[in-house]
C-alpha cells in the first residue's frame, strides 16, 4: 500500500507560481514546438497553450507601426494616396505578405494607423521588405486587403532585418526608399520609418507569501498536510486554476514559500480569485479544508491591515449555506514587481557579445583533402565550421553594438612552433578581435593556411579566457552578456579541467554554446550540458550556480526549416533573463550610457 508508484514529492511541488524557473520550461516547450510545429513560423496554438500555464511565450508578438516622409507625388491633381505593405523574405528568397496598412488620402508624409503584427524570434534572422504604393482613386471604396498590388503605382521599397529595429533604443528605424532594382535613383523617393512595440499585455507581477492559522484537521493519525490552490473565475462561470503552493506536512498553521503571479495569470487586480486550501493525500484525493474568494486588491488589503480572512466550507446539503471556519488566511508579504522581457533589456542598451573558438586538432583531417571537416570548397559551399559560425554569428551580430568579436583557435600549432590551446584566430599577437562575421570567416580561412593541426582537444583555456573577459566587464557595466561558441569535432581530453572552468564561469554573464561537427561520439558533451539535472561539480567541490552550457551535434537530422543551431539559440534569451532577474538587474530607462559607474548597480539581495 502507499505511494509506491506516484511521485509524491513531485505532487507536492508548487506549480505556476514562480517567475524564475523559465529556462527549463522554455527548453521543454521549445523542443516540443520545434518538433511539432515544423518550423514554418510561430505556432499560435502552442504559444497560447503555454501562456495559460504561466510559462513564458516561445516568441514575442511585435506590432510594427509605419510612417513615411517625402514620398513621390504620382497623382496629377492631388497628392499620392499611399499604402504600405510589409513582407517577410523567406529562405528561398520568396516574399510572404505579413500585412498592410490602410490607405491615407492625399498625403506625402503619411503616418499610418493600422499596425502589422510580426512574431519576433530571437534565434533566426528575419529579413523584412517594405513596399509603398500609391493607390489609384478608383479603388478607394474597397478595403485595403482586397486591393491588387500589381494594379497600384509603386512608390518605393526598403528592407531591413527585424532585430535591427528592436535593438535600437527608441525601437525605430528610418530607411531610404529605393526602386525595385535597389538603386536610389535620380529622384529622391523619400524615407519610411518603422517602429516596433511588444504586444505583451502587461509586465506586472505580484509576489505574495501566504500563511494560515487554525486549519481543520483532516488526517486521522497526524495533522493535515495543507497546500493552497489559486484559481481564476472565467466568464463561463467556472474557474481555472492558475497556481498552487508546495505542500507543508503535518501542520495546521502552515507558512508557504512566496508565489509570483503574473498579470497574464490573474487578469486584472480586481478579478475575483478563489483560494482553496486542501489537505494533501498521496492517493490524489485531496480533501478540501476551506476556501476564500478574494481579488488581488483584497489580498493587498489583508497584507496592509495585517488581518486574517476566514475560510468557508460550502455545505454539501444546503448549496447556499456556507459554514464559516476558524481557519484564517494571512498575507505575510505582498509586493509588486515588473517582469521585463528580453526585448525590454535589448532596446534599453543591453548587449550580447559574441565570441568564437574553433577546433584545430588533427582529427579534423588535412584541410587540403576533400574529406576534411576544414576543407574550404572553392565552389563556395560552406563546411560545417563555416556554417556554424554563419548561423550563430548572423543572428547575434545585431545584438553586439561594435561588431568586434573575439575569435580563437585551439589545439593547433601556430607559427611560433608550439601547440596552443587558445591562440588568436586573426594571427595577431596582441588583439584577439575581428570585425564582423565576415572578419571571423576571413580569419578562419587564413588561420587554416598558417596553423598546423595538432591536438589534444582541450576547452579549459578558451573557457577561462572568455570567463575573464566576462568577469572584467562586470566591473564596468552590468549590461553586457557574453556568448561563447565552441565548434569542435572531437571528444574532450580534459573533462575535469573543462568542468572546473565552467563551474567557475557559472556565476558570470556568460553562456557557452558547443556545436559538435563530424561523426564522433559526443556522449561526453552531454554531461557538460547538464540537462538531465545533474549540476556540474568542480574538483574543488564547487557546484555550478546555473547551467550555462548548451550542446548540439550538427549532424542530427532536422526536418523542416529549423536548423540545429537555431535550437541552440532559442535557449539564449531564457539564460540571459535568468541571470538578469536573479540579480534584479532592470533595463535602463534613463538615457545614461551602459557603462554606468559601479555604485549605481541595483544589486539587491
Partner 1 sequence: MGTTSRALEVTIISGEGLRVDRRRQVKKKAFVVVRTNSQNSRSTKADFDGGSFPAWNEKLVLEMPAHARFLTVEVRCKVNSGDKVVGTAKIPVSDFAGGYFPPNYLHFLSYRLRDSGGERNGIINLSVRVKGTENVIGAATCAAAAASSLRPWMGGSTVVGKFSGGVVTGVPVWMA
Q: Which C-beta is closer to partner 1: that of 67 or that of 424? A: 424
DSSP string, 445-508: HHHHHH-EEB-----HHHHHHHHHHHHHHHTT-S-EEEEEEEEESS--S-HHHHHHHHHHHTTS
Region of 135-143, 149-157, 226-234, 472-480 interacting with partner 1 (CB under 8 A): 472-480
**What is the smallest separation between the CB atom of 141 and partner 1, expressed in angstroms?**
57
Buried/exposed 361-387: b ≥16 CB within 10 Å, e otherwise: bbbbbebeeeebbbbbeeeeeebbbbb
476 touches partner 1 (CB under 8 A) = yes
DSSP string, 98-149: EEE----SS-SS-B----EEEEE-TTS--EEEEEEEEPPGGGTTS-GGG--G
2 touches partner 1 (CB under 8 A) = no
Strands (E), 140-257: 153-161, 172-176, 191-198, 204-213, 226-233, 239-244
Residue 222 and residue 246 in contact, taking contact as beta carbons nearer than 8 Å: no
User: Which helix or strand (DSSP H or E) is residue 439 part of?
Assistant: helix 436-450
Q: Which of 236, 285, 320, 475 binds partner 1 (CB under 8 A)?
A: 475
* Other C-beta atoms lying within 10 Å of the C-beta of residue 91: 10
465 touches partner 1 (CB under 8 A) = yes
Distance CA 339, CA 122 (A): 18
20 touches partner 1 (CB under 8 A) = no
Q: Which of 10, 93, 238, 541 binds partner 1 (CB under 8 A)?
A: 541
Distance CA 59, CA 39 (A): 12
Distance CA 592, CA 583 (A): 20
Q: Which of 89, 301, 542, 558 binds partner 1 (CB under 8 A)?
A: 542
**What is the smallest separation between the CB atom of 575 and partner 1, expressed in angstroms?**
14
Distance CA 175, CA 184 (A): 11
540 touches partner 1 (CB under 8 A) = yes
Total chain residues near partner 1 (CB under 8 A): 40
Q: Is the dihedral of CA 322, 325, 327, 332 positive or negative?
A: positive
472 touches partner 1 (CB under 8 A) = yes
598 touches partner 1 (CB under 8 A) = yes
Q: Which C-beta is closer to partner 1: that of 166 or that of 508? A: 508
Residues 6+ apart with CB under 8 A from 509: 470, 473, 474, 478, 480, 481, 482, 579
140 touches partner 1 (CB under 8 A) = no
544 touches partner 1 (CB under 8 A) = yes
603 touches partner 1 (CB under 8 A) = yes
605 touches partner 1 (CB under 8 A) = yes
Task: Pinpoint the alpha helices (H) of 167-217.
Answer: none
**What is the smallest separation between the CB atom of 603 and partner 1, expressed in angstroms?**
5
**What is the smallest separation between the CB atom of 503 and partner 1, expressed in angstroms?**
9
Q: Which of 375, 432, 481, 576 binds partner 1 (CB under 8 A)?
A: 432
Q: Which of 167, 383, 424, 511 binds partner 1 (CB under 8 A)?
A: 424
Residue 207 and residue 17 in contact, taking contact as beta carbons nearer than 8 Å: no
Q: Which C-beta is closer to partner 1: that of 96 or that of 584? A: 584
Q: Which of 219, 468, 521, 526 binds partner 1 (CB under 8 A)?
A: 468
Residues 479-518 as x/- pattern, contact with partner 1 by CB under 8 A: -------------------------x--x-----------
**What is the smallest separation between the CB atom of 288 and partner 1, expressed in angstroms?**
22
Residues 226-255 contacting partner 1, CB under 8 A: 248-249, 251
Give the interface with partner 1 as residue ranges (CB under 8 A): 248-249, 251, 257, 424, 430-433, 464-465, 467-469, 471-476, 504, 507, 535, 537, 540-546, 582-583, 595, 597-599, 601, 603, 605
Amino acid at each position: 500500500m502507499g505511494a509506491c508508484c506516484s511521485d509524491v514529492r513531485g505532487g507536492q511541488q508548487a506549480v505556476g507560481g514562480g517567475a524564475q524557473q523559465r529556462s527549463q520550461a522554455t527548453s521543454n516547450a521549445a523542443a516540443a514546438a520545434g518538433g511539432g510545429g515544423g518550423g514554418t513560423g510561430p505556432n499560435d496554438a502552442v504559444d497560447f497553450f503555454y501562456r495559460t500555464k504561466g510559462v513564458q511565450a516561445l516568441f514575442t508578438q511585435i506590432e510594427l507601426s509605419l510612417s513615411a516622409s517625402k514620398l513621390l507625388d504620382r497623382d496629377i491633381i492631388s497628392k499620392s494616396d499611399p499604402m504600405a505593405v510589409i513582407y517577410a523574405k523567406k529562405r528561398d528568397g520568396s516574399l510572404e505578405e505579413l500585412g498592410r496598412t490602410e490607405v491615407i488620402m492625399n498625403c506625402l508624409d503619411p503616418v499610418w494607423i493600422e499596425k502589422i503584427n510580426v512574431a519576433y524570434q530571437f534565434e533566426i534572422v528575419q529579413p523584412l521588405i517594405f513596399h509603398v504604393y500609391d493607390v489609384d482613386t478608383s479603388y478607394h471604396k474597397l478595403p485595403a486587403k482586397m486591393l491588387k498590388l500589381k494594379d497600384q503605382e509603386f512608390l518605393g521599397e526598403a528592407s531591413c532585418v527585424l532585430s535591427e529595429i528592436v535593438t535600437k533604443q527608441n525601437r525605430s528605424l528610418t530607411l531610404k526608399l529605393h526602386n525595385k532594382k535597389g538603386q536610389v535613383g535620380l529622384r529622391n523617393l523619400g524615407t519610411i520609418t518603422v517602429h516596433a512595440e511588444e504586444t505583451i499585455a502587461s509586465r506586472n507581477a505580484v509576489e505574495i507569501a501566504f500563511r494560515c492559522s487554525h486549519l481543520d484537521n483532516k488526517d486521522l493519525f497526524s495533522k493535515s498536510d495543507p497546500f493552497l490552490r489559486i484559481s481564476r473565475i472565467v466568464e463561463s462561470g467556472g474557474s481555472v486554476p492558475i497556481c498552487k503552493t508546495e505542500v507543508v506536512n503535518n501542520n495546521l498553521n502552515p507558512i508557504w514559500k512566496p508565489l509570483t503571479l503574473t498579470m497574464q495569470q490573474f487578469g486584472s487586480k480586481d478579478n475575483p480569485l478563489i483560494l482553496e486550501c486542501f489537505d494533501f493525500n498521496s492517493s490524489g484525493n485531496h480533501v478540501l479544508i476551506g476556501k476564500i474568494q478574494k481579488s488581488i486588491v483584497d489580498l493587498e488589503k489583508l497584507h496592509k491591515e495585517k488581518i486574517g480572512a476566514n475560510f468557508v466550507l460550502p455545505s454539501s446539503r444546503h448549496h447556499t449555506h456556507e459554514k464559516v471556519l476558524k481557519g484564517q488566511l494571512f498575507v505575510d508579504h505582498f509586493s509588486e514587481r515588473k517582469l521585463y522581457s528580453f526585448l525590454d533589456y535589448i532596446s534599453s542598451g543591453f548587449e550580447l557579445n559574441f565570441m568564437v573558438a574553433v577546433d584545430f586538432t588533427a582529427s579534423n583531417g588535412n584541410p587540403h583533402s576533400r574529406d576534411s571537416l576544414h576543407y574550404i570548397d572553392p565552389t563556395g559551399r560552406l563546411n560545417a565550421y563555416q556554417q556554424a559560425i554563419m548561423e550563430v554569428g548572423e543572428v547575434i551580430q545585431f545584438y553586439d553594438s561594435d561588431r568586434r568579436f573575439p575569435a580563437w583557435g585551439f589545439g593547433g600549432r601556430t607559427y611560433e612552433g608550439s601547440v596552443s590551446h587558445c591562440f588568436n584566430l586573426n594571427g595577431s599577437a596582441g588583439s584577439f578581435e575581428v570585425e564582423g562575421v565576415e572578419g571571423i570567416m576571413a580569419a578562419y580561412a587564413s588561420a587554416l593556411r598558417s596553423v598546423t593541426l595538432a591536438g589534444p582537444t582541450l576547452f579549459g583555456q578558451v573557457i577561462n579566457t572568455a570567463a575573464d573577459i566576462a568577469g572584467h566587464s562586470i566591473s564596468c557595466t552590468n549590461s553586457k552578456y557574453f556568448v561563447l561558441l565552441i565548434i569542435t569535432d572531437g571528444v574532450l581530453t580534459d573533462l575535469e579541467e573543462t568542468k572546473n572552468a565552467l563551474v567557475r564561469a557559472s556565476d558570470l554573464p556568460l553562456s557557452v554554446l558547443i556545436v559538435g561537427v563530424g561523426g564522433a561520439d559526443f556522449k561526453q558533451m552531454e554531461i557538460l550540458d547538464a540537462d538531465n539535472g545533474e549540476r556540474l561539480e568542480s574538483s574543488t567541490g564547487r557546484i555550478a550556480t546555473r547551467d550555462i552550457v548548451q550542446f548540439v551535434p550538427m549532424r542530427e537530422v532536422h526536418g523542416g526549416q529549423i536548423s540545429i543551431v537555431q535550437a541552440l539559440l532559442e535557449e539564449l534569451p531564457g539564460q540571459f533573463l535568468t541571470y538578469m532577474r536573479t540579480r534584479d538587474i532592470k533595463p535602463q530607462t534613463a538615457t545614461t550610457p551602459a557603462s554606468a559607474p559601479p555604485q549605481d548597480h541595483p544589486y539587491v539581495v
